[in-house]
Amino acid sequence: MSRVPPMANDLPANPPQHFIRQIVAADRAAGKHGGAVVTRFPPEPNGYLHLGHAKSICLNFGIAVENSGRCHLRFDDTNPAREDPEYVQAIQDDVHWLGFTWDTLRHASDYFAVFYLGAEKLIRLSLAYVDDLDAEQMRAYRGTLTEPGRDSPFRARGVEENLDLFRRMRAGEFADGSRTLRAKIDMSAGNINLRDPAIYRIRKVTHQNTGDVWPIYPMYDYAHCVSDAVEGITHSLCTLEFEDHRPLYDWFLRQLDLPGDPALTAPLREKGQWLPPSTPQQIEFARGNISYTVMSKRKLLALVQDRLVDGWDDPRMPTLSGLRRRGYTPEAIRAFWERIGISKQNSSIDLGVLEACVREDLDARAPRRLAVLDPLKLVIDNLPDAHIETLQFANHPKDAAQGVRSVPFARTLWIEREDFMQQPVKGFHRLVPDGEVRLRGVGIVRCTRVLADAQGTITALHCTLDHDTRHGMPGAERKVKGTIHWVSAAHAIAAEVRLYDRLFNVPDPDDDSNGKTYRDHLNPDSRHVLRGYLEPGAANTAPGTFFQFERLGYFIADCRDHAAAQPVFNRIVTLRDVWAQRQAP
């Protein structure tokens, strides 16, 4: 079944309530913002999006869809030294893949002229000044959580001097890092974010969107709230680490008063980009922390740069591009975050919950196919050497609408090596010497002979088929305890099969309390590459097609490397949670 990126029109009709949905519903009922709901997803294009970003995407776009509003995709491109057009495109691809769209693509850099005019307004109001302290000195003057900060010796500069210096910063007269524009708030504030935070810094770096027009760039705390206001955002949803920044967010908006000062947004009206400004409300929620992963962009970038993985889209990575290549579906990711819900309490979510969502989604719609990954030859002696027949198998046992397919059956087959045990242990119900097992869709066979090489490795099994147990025969209902799958050795297609597992082998790879780092917890068994055999109907398929290989798990034809002549399949997820079994007492 090939995949087309779905649009998220399958959001639950009656979604479970959480505090953000309740706030938005109350605001609409009270007529706040005229009943409008406008949200935004504002990623910085300095890396690929990961599962944590998916939570924010689903929340921001979902709230807008539920309330007949709109959600803006806006790139927070205020730090050009770390940004790249590759990331800009990847982010758009990921948001679209998750099932969401936007009306107009926005950038914080679209509002650079507004930010600049707003900064000059703060200077004229004696609420901002140019500081000559370097970064280390500013940290020393800022104080600590228990000690107040100290005024910069440049804090008392007059309005005209500050305007002159700031305009010369804009003109590119000063070296990088030599001067900073700071807000003048309160150096003794208990909230360190209010101790004269930086608004602008000098960075003579080419910007991926504006080129070399600007030698100064705004800081995030300033640019973010102004962007929200300019775009008419009503509810600015962000993660809990920004809760202490909210007083600064509100301070900037009060001082600038964008809805009441049309001069600040004049550059946008001149370019036809104007939207009625708003006074947005910042609302914080807990991040999406997931076990067995790291979701620091810095650490993910290090994994890529140090070649510990095969790139941002390595199927073991928690990036959305990696999960897409692995075969995770957008429907499963949306269902996962809906199931987890939104709260103010930080916690770690078991990765097994996400894997369960993927299983549920694929179980309902993934066509079934036969594949053998660790082959052992099985010969049915009481069939003629040239015996070939075609059997009919349902594509899906619970969905007749998916139809049937033809599968070749012959005298010599491949079965899974683990489906035979020469000295069986208690509870083993598959094939054993002189034992019986049902071949899926064929009938019951008995093992009559076992062949091995000089090292004792079993090379082949010889069996006889009880013809009376074949479909439609009187003995077809005869019971045996085990059923195994197979593929015809003469017809099977060889394929490269990549068995992916969790990238880390401990629940919290970020925990460095024992002196180890996340690198020490990389799972050496996170990928195994095998040569398997597939029924012909599984091989001749398009990249991105997923199947359940019966009894083995869910697999997808790799979007990069798969071709009908040289099939490559990635394991998406096993049929059951093997990690829970490992950790069971």
Residue stretches of the annotated binding site for L-glutamine: 76, 220
Number of residues written out for the chain: 585
Catalytic residue among 44, 66, 243, 496: 44
| Choice among 179, 195, 201, 297 that is catalytic | 297
Binding site, annotated residues for ATP: 44-46, 50-56, 239, 295-297
The torsion of the CA quartet 224, 113, 268, 194, rounded to 10 degrees, works out to 30
DSSP calls for 248-291? HHHHHHHHH-GGG-TTTTHHHHHTT--------EEEEE---EET
Binding residues: 44-46, 50-56, 76, 220, 239, 295-297
Calpha distance 228→39 (Å, rounded): 9
Structural contact between residues 128 and 162, judged by C-beta atoms closer than 8 angstroms: yes
Structure tokens at 579: 């990690």
Residue type, 560: R
- Token pair, residue 343, equals 């709260």
Phi, psi (deg, nearest 5) at residue 383: -115, 145
List the beta bridge partners of residue 466. 444
List own/partner pairs for 89-92 with CB under 8 A and 24 or more apart: 90/48, 90/49, 90/312, 90/321, 91/43, 91/45, 91/48, 91/49
Q: What is the 3-state secondary structure (H, E, C) of 456-480?
A: CCEEEEEEEEEHHHCCCCCCCCCCC
Half-sphere exposure of 441 (CA within 13 A, CB side): 22
**CB–CB of 361/331 below 8 Å?**
yes
271 catalytic, yes or no? no
Residues 6+ apart with CB under 8 A from 399: 364, 365
DSSP structure string for 196-263: S-EEEEE----BTTTBTS-SEEE-HHHHHHHHHHHTT-SEEEEEGGGGGGHHHHHHHHHHH-GGG-TT
CB-CB contact of 241 with 82 (8 Å): no
Q: Which value, to the nearest 10 degrees, does the dihedral of the CA atoms of residues 252, 255, 256, 262 take? A: 160
Amino acid occupying residue 351: L
Q: Please classify residue 477 by burial: count the beta carbons closer than 10 Å to its beta carbon, then call 0-12 exposed, 13-18 middle and 19+ buried.
A: exposed
With CA atoms as reference, report the closest residue to 445 among 426, 420, 428, 422. 420
Active-site residue (options: 287, 440, 446, 551): 287
Residue 527 structure tokens: 């990928």
44 is catalytic: yes
- Amino acid residing at 182: R
Q: Is residue 297 flagged as an active site residue?
A: yes
Catalytic residues: 44, 287, 297
